[in-house]
Structures are given as C-alpha cells and as structure tokens.
Amino acid sequence: RMPSIFSYQSAEVDWCEGNFEHSAVIAEYYNTVSAGAPEGRAGTSLLLPGLFSVYFHMTLSYVGQLLDELSILWTLAVAYSFWYPKVYFPRFIKSRKHFFWLTGITTVISTLMSFIKPAFNAYVLNCIAFHLLYLTWQELKKCKDKRVHRMAAVMVMWWVLAISSWLSDRFLCGLWQAINFPYFHSFWHVLIAMSLLYCCPLVIYFDVRYEMPSFEPKLGYWPSDSWPVVVPYVALEEAHKQC
C-alpha cells in the first residue's frame, strides 16, 4: 500500500543527518532546530517558510517537503511582485499590475509542476539566487556608495558559504557520515538566513532609490559599525543622491 503523504519519511529527499538519533518524534534534530532559529532575525516574511521547514525536517513527510519548498517559491514571488525594479521589466510588460499577473501565472504553473517532481524544486529555487546576484551587480555598477558595495559583498560571502554547505550535504554525504559530522544542511539554514539579513536592506535601499526619489537611503549597522555581530538597516534622509 502507498504510504500516506503525511507519514514520517514519505518525502522524496532525506538529508545527510541521521534520522531519529536524538528524538523519537523528530527525524532530523539539528536540521529541525536550525530551520526555526534564524527566521526571526531575517524578517517576518520568512515566518511561514521557517515553520514549514521545521515541520518538514521534523517529519520528512511528502506534505512537509511540498510546504517547505512552495512556501519559499511563493515568498520569492511576492518579493518579485512588489520590489522587482520597473527598469528591468520585460518590454511587453507596461505596468506593475501586468507584472503581478506575469509573476502570479508563472508561480501557479511552477506550483503545479512541483507536484510532478518535488525533489527538483530545491535546485530551481537555488538557481533564482543567481538572478538576484545579477540584479545586485547591475545596481552596484550604478552606485558609488562604499557602504552599499560592502553590504553586497558580505551578503555574497554568506550566500557562498550557505550554498557550499547545501551542496556539500547533498553530494558529499558519505564523507561527512564517515567522519561523523553530517550537519552541513543545518549550517545552510543559519548561513542563508545571515545572507538574507543583508539582502533585505539592499532590496529596500534600491527600491527607495526607484520609488521614493525625494529621499536618500542610507545603509547603517545596529548597534555600531565596529561590532562583530550587527543588524543592517536603512535610514531615509532628504534627497542628496550619491548614486
């Protein structure tokens, strides 16, 4: 008989961490804990992806896998819909409303395709990061503000560490299990959250430049630039553009 889509370990993927080694009810203990811990620091928009990721790694269920991946897909779709710069719209798109429709239709089609091969979703979602990096590069070429370039560099650094951890867990699992250290997917959760912590202010910064020309966005770090651990933010001042 086919297993229930809600059953433990009914998902198409199983990460490198051993299952039920630290708890009788949590399949991947460290992946579950790490999935829930960073999302609060990266913003409330990641609350649902964080909760669904916790559910997925706790159960490794087919439904959990779909919820985890589709919540990320729809979060990206919302972000693109509202903050994708008009200057990069395809030529046949004439307004933000038309772009909403394009994004919505694309997301619905992608959602339906996700049910055909859910394991393929993660690779596609990671590839979206390359488009975001391309957009960041295009914006940096227009900007001379050193703080913007610094924040972008830190964002990319965290992303490289994150994607390296994800790939290592996926393709070098045998090595990590041999040395009893199969925890790189949990590192991915923390590192990608750190990357998003710097990505979000950058997106806001560029959005203000396009949508609020009467203000000059300034990037800052709380509590201080000199602290080793900081929270980046955007402050608005009267227009006096550097970029």
Please report, in range form, the residues annotated as the binding site: 14-15, 17, 19, 28, 57, 185, 189
C-alpha span between 54 and 74 (Å, rounded): 17
What is the sign, positive or negative, of the torsion defined by CA atoms of 19, 22, 26, 31? negative
3-state secondary structure 169-213: HHHCHHHHHHCCCCCHHHHHHHHHHHHHHHHHHHHHHHHHHHHCC
Indicate the burial class of 25 (C-beta count within 10 angstroms; 0-12, 13-18, 19 or more): exposed
In the annotated binding site for Ca(2+), the residues are 14-15, 17, 19, 28
In the annotated binding site for Zn(2+), the residues are 57, 185, 189
- What sections of the chain are H helices per DSSP? 29-36, 39-42, 47-59, 62-83, 96-114, 121-140, 146-171, 173-178, 184-211
Q: Do 15 and 9 form a contact (C-beta atoms < 8 A)?
A: no
Q: Which candidate, 225, 135, 221, 226, places its Cα nearest to that of 234?
A: 221
